Structure formats: structure tokens, C-alpha cells
A = this chain, B = another copy of it.
Amino acid sequence: MVNSDRPTMHDVAAAAGVSQMTVSRVLRGDGYFSQDVKKRVADAAAKLGYIHNRLASVQRGMKNPMIGVVLPTLKNHVFTDVLAGINDTLSSLNMRPVFGVSEYSATAEETLVRDMLSWQPSGLILSGLEHTEGLKRAVVQSGARVAEIMDADGTPISASFGVSQETAGADMARHFLARGHLRVAYLGSQGGDDLRAAKRFSAFRDTLLAGDGEIIYERISKAPSSMTLGRDLAATCLQKAEGCDAIYCANDDLAAGALMHCITNEVSVPGDIALAGFNDLPFLAALPQQITTTHTPLYEMGVRAAKYVALDSPDDPPKEALKTRLVIGQTT
């Protein structure tokens, strides 16, 4: 409920004995005004507890310091890392993120974006490169600056800052082959909704099969990703997949959960079985063993995307593929 007695520039103007226009100028520090007037206005505004009404100024044509951010989930720490990069950058530029979570649904994403666009944000950050046609059309028409993050394998609407999922998957497969891990299991989550994990796995499989490897077990749970899920999936996997010598997990949470299963059940890692995840999240450093994983510059990705959408350089939209890096596991 917006109180109707919230003071406006008119009220401040009356209290300071000037016109409303002068108050506007003083508060924005734009144009000419005397020191005397400046002080009177500042005092009046402080006394009344005046708060600027952005709705009105944006409507009038000012830039809206609002950036819409749509992420697939908050359950995976991956996105809180990206978010941190976005948030830190936008804060320093006096802009504010508005978040939405799509739960890996393209239609939910479209609804969310349409909703956000109704606030006339000056920018938008989306996850992944796959969106509904309706979303793309709405975004383009809105004139908001858009950046797509996370992925680099595909065609962005405009700018993109992501990593190549295919390269990451293929790199990991080559590592497996080099280490002689040929009988491999794959564990995933979110059903088929996590499209980036799917791309990764597809490239991983192709590369592995092109070598002498084989996927002897594959299980993509419908549940959202979590350490607990990873632990459970690993338990079933080790029971069913005889002769399996390595597990590739869709992400670090699953891999860490798998590691917990191994520790609890005294399965030696990587002696009995090798484990690999994806993202190189900070918490991996605290585990009893450093798991093999692919480092992705999550924070940096957030920073770049935020900078791009916040500033309005007229350059043509960059499509940057950030580098991933294989992190080899070891006992600590």
C-alpha cells in the first residue's frame, strides 16, 4: 500500500520556498542553482523524509537503473556465485538487479521476462542460449540491453558471456581416456531440463566413444541437484554398474555427494573409482579430497555480463567465450 501522504517534490518545494522544478534540479545536481537554494532544498527534503520517485522519472524518459536477471535455480551454488558477480558489479554502478527463477522451464522464463519488461528495465541478463521465440521477440522489441550467460555453444540474441559446454565435456573425456578410465558412468539431475549439462555430456560421450571408452551406466534423475542426490545416485550406480572405474557427474554437488558416499563406504577415490564434477565451486577445497572438475569463471561471467548491460556503449554486442580449465583431483 503506497501511502498517499508520501512527500513529493511539490511538498519539498513548498517547504523550501522554491518551485518544484528547482527542487528537481537541486536533487539531481543538474543545471544551475544557488548555494542558498541548494541548502534550503536539501534541508526541506531531509526534514520531510523525501524519497525520489523513480517510477515517475523513468516514465519521463530517464534511464531505469534496473536490470532483470533470470536464473534457472537458486538450489545450485553455481548461480549464487554468478549472482554475486552481477550484484557486486551492478551495485558499484548504482544499478539494481531484479531476480527471477525459472526452475529450468522455458515457458516460465518467458512469463518472467515479460513480467520484468513491464518495469522497463534498461537491461536483462538471461541464462543459456535456448529460449522461446516469444521471449526473444519481446526482448528485442523492448530495446533493453540483453546478455546471455553460462553457455557459448549457440547463437545469442545479442551479447553473450559463457563457456563452451562442448569443449568442457570433450576435455574431460580426453582426460578420462588419458588416465585409462574407460568404463564410465554418468550421473545427472533436473531430468533433461539442464540443457547445458546435456550438451556437456553429449560432447563427453562422443569423445569418449571415439577413444576406447564406453558409457556403461547413465542415470539422470528428475530431482534438482544436491549433494544428497549425488550420494544416492552414486550408491545405486556403484551397486549396479559393475566394473565401472569412473563417474562423471553433471556438477560438483553431485560429485561431492558421490565422494561422501565413497568415504562413508570406504571406497577409495581415485583408487577404486575416479570422480569428476563440473564448475570447481569453492567448497570443493574443503573436502577431504580434491575432486577432478572443470573450473568455470562464474563470478567473472557475472561481472562481464553486468558491466555490459549496465553501461550503454554503442559497440556491437560481444559474444565472449570464457575459458574453462581442467582441475585434476588429488588427495589433500
Number of A interface residues, CB 8 Å? 65
**CB atoms of B115 and A96 under 8 A apart:** yes
Q: A51-B118, A120-B53, A122-B1 are in contact. Are A98 and B98 (CB under 8 A)?
A: yes
Copy number in the complex reads: 2
Distance (Å) between the CB of A317 and the closest chain B CB? 13
Distance (Å) between the CB of A200 and the closest chain B CB? 23
**In the complex the two chains form, what is the Cα distance from A77 to B288 in whole Å?**
21
Q: Which residue of B lies closest to A227 (CB)?
A: B286
Q: A6-B141, A53-B120, A55-B119 are in contact. Are A227 and B283 (CB under 8 A)?
A: yes
**CB atoms of A288 and B260 under 8 A apart:** yes
Q: Which residues from chain B contact A35 at a C-beta distance below 8 Å?
A: none
Choice from B141, B226, B312 contacting A49 with Cβ under 8 Å: B141
**In the complex the two chains form, what is the Cα distance from A117 to B3 in whole Å?**
12
> Which of A5, A100, A287 is most buried by chain B, counting CB atoms within 10 A of its CB?
A287
Q: A282 contacts the other chain (Cβ, under 8 Å)? A: yes
In the complex, chain A residues 10-44 whose Cβ is within 8 Å of any chain B Cβ: none
Q: A285 contacts the other chain (Cβ, under 8 Å)? A: yes
Q: Pick the interface stretch among A56-64, A210-218, A319-327.
A: A56-64
Q: Mark A46-81, 1 if CB is under 8 A from B, else 0.
A: 000101111110110101101000000011010010
**In the complex the two chains form, what is the Cα distance from A257 to B58 in whole Å?**
47
**CB atoms of B283 and A264 under 8 A apart:** no
Choice from B51, B59, B97 contacting A56 with Cβ under 8 Å: B59
> Which of A3, A5, A145 is most buried by chain B, counting CB atoms within 10 A of its CB?
A3
Distance (Å) between the CB of A265 and the closest chain B CB? 9
Q: Mark A95-133, 1 if CB is under 8 A from B, else 0.
A: 011111100000000000011111110100000000000
15 of the cross-chain contacts (CB-CB < 8 Å) are A1-B122, A1-B144, A2-B63, A2-B143, A3-B142, A3-B143, A49-B137, A51-B117, A51-B138, A87-B101, A91-B101, A96-B116, A97-B98, A263-B288, A264-B332
